[in-house]
Amino acid sequence: MSDLALLGGDPVIRAPLRPYRSMGEAEKQAVIEVMDSGKLSGFYGSPGPEFLGGPKVKAFEELWRQRYGVAHAVSVNSATSGLIAAIGAIGVSPGDEVIVPPWTMSATVVAPLFYGAIPVFADVDRRTFCLEPNAVREAITPRTRAILAVNLFGHPAPLRELVGLAREKGLYLIEDSAQAPWAADEHGQRAGTVGDIGVYSLNYHKHIHTGEGGMCVTANADLAQRLRLIRNHGENAVAGEDVDSLVNIVGFNFRLPELSAAIGIAQLNRVDDHVAARERVAVRLTEEAQNLEGLYPPVVRDGCRHNYYCWTMRFDPERLGVTRATFSAALAAEGFPHAVGYVKPLYLLPLFRQRVAFGRNGWPFTPTSQRYEKGLCPVTERLHEHEAIVFEPCAYEISEGEVAQLGDALRKVHRHLSALRKYEKASAEKRA
């Protein structure tokens, strides 16, 4: 009998991994300072100095601006809010198209809908999981207004190619860098700062966080001003001379509270430590997973920095002779926490399949012939259905010994593929 835990053996990892806790004394003191001040928010939705927020919000934005080497940093209460504000800031209008990847958090592809724009999906690169430039080029039409690239799992998209394509076609490039706060491209430039606007997440399970929150960055002063207006009821504060265009300045409440900003300052002061801890785990896990036939650890493009929000391995069912589901069950039984498939390709959500977003008549899909059907992005579909196995370094506090155990568990399951094939065959016969 095999010693696989799935088949009655002892698991490699006997105790659950400890959750990663990034909150410490600095964050506690920051919260106390704000509480003692009695000022939990500094925003007013009307003209004046407080239109830009309280002292902690302003200090957080300035620190982010300095650390990232950008001209402007604009805080928001979530990356979702930041994406909506970014789409608005570039002047997207009803009927415009925005090219998006199908493999990301849903907020990325829903953001254009708020302005009546149509998401157009382009497939991803099989090795890095980010937008594939040729697929993007093929998706561009006369209606295209922007490309929304995602630096997925902490690896930078091919940003130089995408920004070059955007400039060639007269488009904007927005970067969803929610999962990639310290990643960098081949030129050492931080992910999120190559395009026209970059958006970062400070959600509780990211590298650094404020519970909920986000940050937008841009080198363009007009775009920065538009982001600030959309963030805070801009219709109340804008004067005609403040921006070049009043398009999309109908505002929201996307404001970050003082408590969150104070925590963000403490977190940003330790961002190097938080990111490096995840990188060390992921790099070691890649070393542990090398040279296992049919398993492909994450690829890092030459010269890039991957900060590993997720460590995503590709699984080859044809080469290994078992399904991913069976391999995953065996891996889970050994105590290796993971998920399979990440998210379903987003064009398969009912929102897109049924072409219904706002109102009874399906606006903004009504006037477009855009269709969202299975087979639209075959690389993404194969990754989701058969190949991707995802581990989250951000979720756990992992010692060197525990990384070694994760590697032992992976190799153990791989070593017993023949037993898994028999198990899978017997299970199929029993179901029949």
Site of tokens 């070691």: 284
CB atoms under 10 Å from CB of 300, counted, come to: 19
Whether residue 247 is found in the same domain as residue 323: no
Domain boundary among 239, 269, 299: 269
What DSSP element (H or E) covers 231?
helix 221-231
- For residue 362, what pLDDT is reported? 87
In a domain, 360, yes or no: no
pLDDT score at 240: 62
CA torsion 397-401-407-412 (nearest 10°) is -120
Question: Both 210 and 333 in a single domain?
Answer: no
Which pLDDT belongs to residue 209? Answer: 96
Is there a domain that residue 309 lies in?
yes
**Which amino acid, 47?**
P
At 340 the pLDDT is 98
- Whether residue 304 sits in one domain with residue 408: yes
Residues 248 and 310 in one domain: no
**pLDDT score of 242:** 75
Q: What per-residue confidence (pLDDT) applies to 177?
A: 98
Whether residue 323 is found in the same domain as residue 275: yes
- 318 and 404 in a single domain? The answer is yes
Regarding whether 212 and 327 lie in a shared domain, the answer is no
Kindly give the pairing relationship between strand 172-176 and strand 197-201. parallel
269, 294, 318 - which closes a domain: 269
The pLDDT score that the predictor gives to residue 1 is 46
Q: Give the distance between the most distant pair of CA atoms in the chain.
A: 78
Could you tell me if 277 and 263 lie in one domain? no
Flag whether 56 is in a domain: yes
Does 231 fall in a domain? yes
Of the candidates 251, 269, 287, which is a domain's last residue?
A: 269
Same domain, 277 and 334: yes
Identify whether residues 294 and 391 lie together within a single domain: yes
Q: What is the pLDDT of residue 366?
A: 79
Helix (H, G, I), strand (E, B) or coil at 206: coil
**In-domain check, residue 292:** yes
The amino acid at 254: F
Q: What is the pLDDT of residues 55-100, one digit of tens each?
A: 999 999 999 999 999 999 999 999 999 999 999 999 999 999 999 9
Residue/partner pairs of 417-423 with CB below 8 Å, 24 or more apart: 417/320, 417/321, 417/322, 419/2, 419/4, 419/7, 420/4, 420/6, 420/322, 420/326, 420/327, 420/330, 421/321, 421/322, 423/6, 423/7, 423/326
Residue 140 CA to residue 92 CA, distance in Å, equals 15
Residues with Cβ within 8 Å of 384's Cβ and at least 6 positions away in sequence, in order, are 103, 341, 342, 343, 344, 345
Task: Kindly give the parts of the chain with pLDDT less than 70.
Answer: 1, 240-241, 367-368
Domain interval for residue 247 = 21-72+200-269
Domain membership of residue 31 (yes or no) is: yes
- Neighbour tally for 82: CB within 10 Å: 34
Are 285 and 406 in contact by the 8 Å Cβ rule? The answer is yes
The answer to whether 55 and 262 are in contact (CB under 8 A) is: no
Query: Do both 206 and 242 map to the same domain?
Result: yes
The answer, as to whether pTM is greater than 0.85, is yes
Q: What is the pLDDT of residue 71?
A: 98
Rounded-to-integer distance, Cα 430 and Cα 390, Å: 30
Query: Element (H or E) spanning 387, and its range?
Result: none
- ∠ Cα 173 175 176 (to 5°): 145
The backbone torsions φ and ψ at residue 252, rounded to the nearest 5 degrees and listed phi first, read -125, 180
pLDDT at 360: 87
- How many distinct structural domains can be found in the chain? 2
Closest CA to 262 of 34, 420, 21, 36: 34
Any domain includes 181: no
Looking at the structure, do residues 36 and 49 belong to the same domain, yes or no?
A: yes
